[in-house]
Each structure stands twice: as structure tokens, then as C-alpha cells.
Amino acid sequence: MIQVPPSPFLRMRAPFMKAVVNRLRTRFDYASALGTDCSGLYFQAATGETRAQDSEWGERGFVIRVQRDGAVAEFSFNAPTGGSPEIFADGLAARLEPLLADSGARRYPALADGSARVSSSGEMESDPFDADPEGVLESLCAIRDRVLGSGPEFPYARALAEFMRVSKVFVSPARDLEQSFVWGQAYIMAMARRGEIQRFGMETFSGRKGTEIIDEMNMRVDSVVAAARALLDAGPIEPGEYDVVLTPEATGLLAHEAFGHGVETDMFVKNRARASQYLGKGVASPIVTMYDGADGAIQTGSFLFDDEGTLATKTMIIDRGILVSGISDSLSAMTLGAKPTGNGRRQDFAHKAYARMTNTYIAPGSSTADEIIASVKYGWMLCDMDSGMEDPKNWGIQLVFNSAKEIRDGKLTGRVASPVVCSGYVPDVLSGITMVSGDFELSGTGYCGKGYKEFVKVSAGGPYVRTRMRLG
Amino acid sequence: MMMDRIRRALGRNAEMADWRIVESRRRGWERYYIGRAVECAREVETTEYRVTVYADGTRDGQAVRGDSIFRAHPTMDLSELEAAIGRALFTASCVANKPYDLPLPASTRAAMPVCSFEGGDPSGLVERVRAELYREDGAGGATVNSLELFLSRVETRIVNSRGVDASWVSWKGFSEYVVNAPSPSGEVELYGSVKFGDFDAGKLSRAVGSRLAQARDRSRAEPTPDARSLPILFSEDNAGALFGYFFANCSAQRAYQKLTPFKPGASAQGETVTGDRVTLHAEAALRGHPDSSPFDDDGVPIDRFTCVEDGVVGGFFGPSRYCGYLGIPASGDYRVFSVDGGRETESALRALPHFEPVVFSDFFVDAATGDFGGEVRLGYLFDGTTRIPVTGGSVTGSMLDVRGSLRFSGERIPGGAGIHPAVVLVAKASVTPAG
């Protein structure tokens, strides 16, 4: 395995920023700095063109957070400029002072600054940043061309692979944290066309992975083509309530959208989450246990410390049907008198930190996937997640899937519906879970928004589950 | 100056065919409120450079061009910058696309509409916007639960190796808000957002005010019943999203990649058009719209371009690269559009029995498949006499099925996508009742 090197840029500037926050600490009750240096590579072979360039996820900069008399303010910038740390800190203070001057500002409990000193370098099997770009593109072109060569009904194909090297430092008077790691993700998309009908098949790949991810892609080309072809005959679903089987990917979307957002504790502070009234109470079937945590799995939502300098944890959210904990950023945790769970995350250094998910999943159970499908008299298996949206206050659900496969008398019939919008009431859906398989898969190609913005990398997944939902 | 350092470093690479630099300087002011209290105040001051390098070569005897984009951080020293350029140039040489030319300097001039934010005191501007957003707070018992306010001044400059040097200033405003209303079974909430590129007091207060009124309606809403026999009336940004299907499918890049079913000169609305015929223009600068831009990403000045006229695809728009691939004149690329009004009035369309889903969880329109839909958080059922609020269930449909029978209002509204008819009546869509 190859160690991911730390960022020389951050290593060089961390001592300066340490001196800056020490100086700021003399004028504020709390001061810290997060520094980021994240760079990535994006390779794509699509119909008619190829691309190789920096990833859109790249960033390099700093954010300073200060607190005085409970009020919190932040300033984001590219890098310290000119002069000594003391002069730079005084300039920052002049920018931050007016932001704290609002007499109507919310007063939080004092931010903690417990001592910690950690440094972590992730590992990777193959370094995508040392890979020959031409070789990566040739591999992706070969995948694209396999799709396009599958028949005249495939005018469009896209194979892409993206790799991010994430490096961050967090410094405060008492903390010195440093982490570097790599994640990778890849997609194969195939569009089938018949007349004006256009349908997509897609497979995704992700993890703490380098270019070995392309080997996984090669094994799934045929299934993407088959899925797209089958979707050409897909029709709408007759609106109604059905028994449904969720694939691990669909289970992850349910866990993330239906419940994960509702236990982000900044929603508790805003009185936006109905879940806050259900702590210690039943919210799901007794066979449901759910977790979130950057330290709970090794996927794209994993890290050593969050963007507020809190070390990552693994949080049990639902314990055999009982809601036991939320996931928190530091401000909401302190407001609620709880310990931060290491879920304070930013889209990048220029964005605010919120309570966010990391790796979110439902724990495996005791059934098999075949047993679950065989148990359904009539229903649908939901596949190929497209999107979802939370409704933590009113516990509504929107989950959109690219396809659903019909189940009749315990067998898949081959009939496919697309697209499928799932709606329902969260406690009904979670309480309606009657079977959970022993499988466990996480998918980390998703991006999570807070509302409709503030995107962060997450993974979600779990086993196959059976429940009831309204489909349309 | 970083721009000059990048240009000098690029100029030292003889094997580089061309280059382009996009500089973006942003100053941003952010306020996060819980109720009316500031939860956090933030400022952002960043500069970003996106540099594209181009390499020409041959593959199998054919001329090819490759490009690669990298971010030049203002904190890069000369050796780091030169290394980044070297890597990007090597990467570009591995990319083999059909050759294309970068645009040359244009003789026409382009400018942004004058923005009233320019020259104002930032904290004063933020306060003016905040005051308008909160103007209707508390009306009828509905309140703002939380609100986020973002205001940025962005200076953009685009230069390339062929002499293009375009620059402009834009203001980008955005607010998202969550509103509550009491109900017998507890509070209900609705999410809303508004984009703005200039100060418009009425627009800001109406945006939040209408959501507050809708939250009150949601608090007394009944579960959405079986409404499959009714046409669907789309309004607000949902109406704009439907027209976004036509805009997206007129993209030269999508045409080159064979992603669009549209063909120039052919109907964009299918073989039989029984409703209003769509006329859609790609627009450069719409007053007050934050995505307005007098230039595209190549620094080419852009002006109104009619994509669809009377339901017929007029042409594809796009940057010189994709237009060149298609053998059509380069129009430049666009971010916003306008749609001409239809034949009927909004009140005439609203007088018909219909189901109007106003607030979705996340309304989607897929430009490639034509699928649209979403879960309904608030809708209204109108039977010709009575209008009642409903909640829950979902709507799904396909633009392929409805595009020929769209009926839309003559009245137009500014929205997130541009300017478009206020309401669109869709005859055929599937409604899943609430449980």
C-alpha cells in the first residue's frame, strides 16, 4: 500500500496559522483555523470527446472561526498575506470584530478547545496522481466504445473516473490536527434511444481507491448496457401503495434522506426536526439499527477529523427501532448539552460548517436477498437511485429511482418501470420494515446537500430490506 | 499580480498551442439566522484562477487537439505554478479531440446592466436585503424559522492566447428560508429560496411572503386525493423548469454528443401541437438575474439567441468549439432564457378545474429522458369553484407526452431559470394520492 503524503503547502503554513490563532485568542474567547489543500483528477470518455483535467472538488484556503460572548463569526480567504502572524491576525480581527457586533446575535455556549495532536496519512493501492493520463483515458475510451458498440440504439456513452487527494489541517491554541487521504469514484453511463425515447443505464463505483477502480468498471459494462436496453420498454407505474424490496443502494438512500437529515442536530436547534421529540422512543421496526460515522466505515465519507476539528466517531442513531442519538456539529451539540459527534462539515473552506452525514447505513440483518424477494406476493424492487429530498419537520419522503423491477409471486418478472417516485410518511416506512438481509454494501458516489446547496461527499447503504411505500 | 505571473509562465512553453485564464475575485457577505437572531456571520474573500492549456498533435495521421484545466491558486509560487502548467500540458497532450479554434477578440461591446448594489456599504446592503426578506414575517401566524442570506460581488476576467480580454462585475444574491405555520397537529414547514442580482424590495418580500401564506395553507391541507382526471397547473419556478427542457436540448454540446432528440428545423413539441407553440430565447443579461453575463466562458460577447420559435427548433447555441464541430455559427454559451407568453391569460387557465402542485420536495425535469416529477408538499385542487390546499403524494409525467399540448399564460414572471409564462397547464400526468 502507498501512503498519501501530507500537503507541503499546509505543512509550511500551519505554524504561521498557529501563531495567528494564538494571537486572535488574546482578543476572542475562541479562535481556530482550518486549512485545506485538496486537488483532484477528472478523466472522462464520452461520445465524441475525452477530457482530463483538475476535479471540480479542488480547493485551497483557510477559514478562521472566532467566538466572543457566545457569538460566532468566520472569515474565509486564500492564504495569509504579508507581514508577521501578529500583523496578519490583527488585520483579521479588524474584519471579524464588526461581524460579532450584532446585538441580536445568538449566544452559544463556549466552544471547547481540548488538547489534541494527531496526524494521519491514508493508504491507497495505486496512486492515481502518478498514473499515466493516456493510459487512464485509453481504459475509459475502451469502456465507452464497448457501450457504443453494443448496438445502434446506443448513441451516447460516458465513462468517467475521478480521484481526490484531500489534505486538511486544523489548528487552535490547544489542537494540531493533520490528515491526508485519497478517494475515488467512477461512473459508466449508457443511453439507449428508440425514436425519441431515451433511457439511461448506470453503474457507480467508489471508495478509498485509486486507479484499481477501473478494473471494477470493466466488469460491469455489460450490465449497464442491459439495464439501459431494458429501460426502453419501461413504462410508468400504476400509482399506489406496494410491498417494496430495497437494494442496498436504495436502502442507503432511504436511510440518508428519510431519516439521516432529520437527526442532524442543527435541525434540532432550529426546531426543524420531529426526531428531536422521539429520542428514546420507537421510530422503526425492531429489526432496524442505523449508524452514521466517518469512523464507522471506510468509504468516501470517512475522515479523521471534521471541519471543526472534532475527531470522527461512529454514532448509533437507531438501536433496534429506538432513536438513540443525533449527529452533530459543535455549535448544535453544545446548545443541546451533548458531545459533538464529528459531523461538522463544510463544502469547502469558503463555506459554513453544518451538521452533516458521513457514511450512513442500516446494519445487516438475518434474511437473505432471495428470501426477501420470495416473500413478496406482488410488489417492486427499487433500483438505481436518482435523488432524494428530506422533510425532517413533517417526515415526508421523496425518493426517485431510475428503475423498479416487478415482483410477482416471489419472482422478478422482467417488467421494469421508470422513473419511480416514492413518497410516504417516514415512521410508517421504517416501522413497515419486516425483513433485513445479511448483505452490506456502501455506495459513495453521492453528494449530499443541505437543503439545495452545501454539497459534501458521503456514502450510504446497507442490506436489502422489505417494507411498504407509495410509488408513482 | 498573479494574472501576469500565470501569463508569463504560460508563455514560456513553446509547445503550448493556446491557453485561456478565467480569473474570479469574490467578496461575499453571509448571514445565518435562526428566527431573527444571527446564528453566524461570515465574510469570504477569495480569488481563483482556472487555467486551460491546449496542445495540438496528430493521432493516426489525423490532427487532434487536447485541453486540460487546472486551478492556479494565488498562493502558488513560481516553481509550483510552472510544475502545474507542465502537468496540465502533458495531460492535454494525452487528450485527442477533434481540432477547434479559440475565439478571437470581438468587435462588439458587451456590458452588464447597472446594479444598484455597486458602491454600497456591504453591511448596509445586507441589512436592506434582510429587512425585505423579513417584511412579512409573522403574517397570519406564519413565521420565518430560519433564513440564510448570501450576497457576493464577483469580478470576472477572461483572457486567452488569441487576444480575448473580457471583464465584468456581477452581484449574486441568494437566500433560502424555512417558514412555519401552526396546525392542530403541530407546526408545518415549507422551504423556499430566491435568487437576485439587484435590489428589488418587492421581489424579496413577496418571495418569503408567498411561502408564509403557503405554509398557512399547508397547515390546513388535506391529503392529496386521486386527481388523475385533472390537468396539472405548474406555476412559479416549476413552470420555468418545464421550459428548461427545451433550453437544455438546444445546447450544441448536447447535440454534438447525441444527447438531444432535437433537430434544427424540426418540431420541438412533437408531431402534433394542439396547445401553445413555444418560443424560447437564450439570453445574456436579464436585469436582476444573478446568472446574467455579457460574455460566455470563452469571453465571447453574447446577445439574445432564439432557440425555439413557434415550436420549431431554430438552432443550437454553444461555445465556438461545439458549434464548430456541428458546422454552425458560434453563438456563445448561455445560462438563462426567456420564453414568450402564450395565448391565454393566467386567470383563464386558472379558471379551469385543475391540480396545482406549488411546492415539491424537489421537482425534477430530466432533459435527456423528458421525465418530470416530484413529491408534493403543497398543492391546490380546484374543481371550478373551490380551491382547497392538499399535501402528500407525487406527480410524474413525461415531456414527450405533454409538450405538444402545453397551454401557458400570456403573463410572464421572472424566476430562477429566467423569464417565463406564469403558469403552464399540462393535460397528462400521473398523480399518486397521499396515503
- The mean per-residue pLDDT over the stretch A27-39 comes to 98
pLDDT band, residue A389 (cuts 50/70/90):
confident
Query: pLDDT tens digits, residue range B136-195?
Result: 999 999 999 999 999 999 999 999 999 999 999 999 999 999 999 999 888 999 999 999
pLDDT band, residue B30 (cuts 50/70/90):
very high
Predicted local distance difference test score (pLDDT) of residue A423:
84
- The mean per-residue pLDDT over the stretch A370-382 comes to 98
Chain B contact for A468, CB < 8 A?
A: no
Query: pLDDT tens digits, residue range A43-56?
Result: 999 999 999 999 99
Closest CA in chain B for residue A271: B145
Predicted local distance difference test score (pLDDT) of residue A413:
96
Predicted local distance difference test score (pLDDT) of residue B133:
98
pLDDT band, residue A150 (cuts 50/70/90):
very high
CA distances from A190 to A140, A156, A187, A231, A420 (A): 13, 6, 10, 11, 19
Chain-chain contact of A352 with B43 (C-beta, under 8 angstroms): no
CB atoms < 10 A from the CB of A100, how many? 18
pLDDT band, residue A173 (cuts 50/70/90):
very high
Task: Please say if the pLDDT value at position A243 is more than 80.
Answer: yes
Task: Please say if the pLDDT value at position A391 is more than 90.
Answer: no
Determine which of A54, A147, A425, A448 to mutate to test the interface with B (most B C-beta atoms within 10 Å): A54
Task: Please say if the pLDDT value at position A104 is more than 90.
Answer: no
Task: Please say if the pLDDT value at position A386 is more than 90.
Answer: no
Chain-chain contact of A73 with B40 (C-beta, under 8 angstroms): yes
Query: If we measure between CA atoms, which residue out of A256, A205, A194 comes closest to residue A230?
Result: A194
Chain-chain contact of B257 with A48 (C-beta, under 8 angstroms): yes
Chain-chain contact of B400 with A137 (C-beta, under 8 angstroms): no
Query: pLDDT tens digits, residue range B103-112?
Result: 999 887 777 8
pLDDT band, residue B242 (cuts 50/70/90):
very high
Mean pLDDT value across chain B:
95
CA distance B43 to B153: 12
So where are chain A's domains?
2-231, 240-471
Q: Which amino acid is at B311?
A: G
Grid coordinates of A377: 406476493
* Range in A84-93, A388-397, B278-287 the model is least confident about: A388-397
Distance from CA of A195 to the nearest CA of B (A): 8
Chain B contact for A232, CB < 8 A?
A: no
Query: If we measure between CA atoms, which residue out of A430, A401, A394, A429 comes closest to residue A417?
Result: A401
Mean pLDDT value across chain A:
95
Query: pLDDT tens digits, residue range B4-23?
Result: 999 999 998 888 999 999 99
- The mean per-residue pLDDT over the stretch B57-83 comes to 94
- The mean per-residue pLDDT over the stretch A330-341 comes to 95
Task: Please say if the pLDDT value at position A388 is more than 90.
Answer: no
Predicted local distance difference test score (pLDDT) of residue A358:
98
Task: Please say if the pLDDT value at position B229 is more than 90.
Answer: no
Domain A2-231, second-level architecture: 2-Layer Sandwich (3.30)
- Pick from B88, B188, B228: CB nearest A394: B188
Predicted local distance difference test score (pLDDT) of residue A384:
87
Selected residues 283-342 of chain A with any CB under 8 Å from a CB in chain B: 331
Task: Please say if the pLDDT value at position B268 is more than 80.
Answer: yes
Selected residues 204-223 of chain B with any CB under 8 Å from a CB in chain A: none
Selected residues 279-318 of chain B with any CB under 8 Å from a CB in chain A: none
Predicted local distance difference test score (pLDDT) of residue A103:
82
pLDDT band, residue B228 (cuts 50/70/90):
confident
Which domains are delineated in chain B? 2-219 (3.30.2290.10), 222-432 (no CATH)
Task: Please say if the pLDDT value at position B3 is more than 80.
Answer: yes
Q: What is the ipTM of this complex?
A: 0.95
Task: Please say if the pLDDT value at position B123 is more than 80.
Answer: yes
Show Cβ contacts of residue A417 under 8 Å, excluding neighbours closer than 6 positions.
A234, A235, A236, A237, A380, A403, A404, A406
Predicted local distance difference test score (pLDDT) of residue A452:
85
- Pick from B70, B74, B396: CB nearest A78: B74
Residues of A in contact with B366 (CB under 8 A): 419
- Write out chain A in H/E/C secondary structure: CEECCCCHHHHHHHHHHHHHHHHHHCCCCEEEEEEEEEEEEEEEEECCEEEEEECCCCEEEEEEEEEECCEEEEEEECCCCCCCHHHHHHHHHHHHHHHHCCCCECCCCCCCCCCEEEEEECEECCCCCCCCHHHHHHHHHHHHHHHHCCCCCCCEEEEEEEEEEEEEEEECCCEEEEEEEEEEEEEEEEEEEECCEEEEEEEEEEECCCCCHHHHHHCCHHHHHHHHHHHCCCECCCCEEEEEEECHHHHHHHHHHHHHHHHEHHHHHCCCCHHHHCCCCECCCCCCCEEECCCCCCCCCCCCECCCCCECCCEEEEECCEECCCECCHHHHHHCCCCCCCCEECCCCCCCCEECCCEEEECCCCECHHHHHHCCCEEEEEEEEEEEECCCCCCEEEEEEEEEEEEECCEEEEEEECCEEEEEEHHHHHHCCCEEECCCEEECCCEEEECCEEEEECEEEECCEEEEEEEC
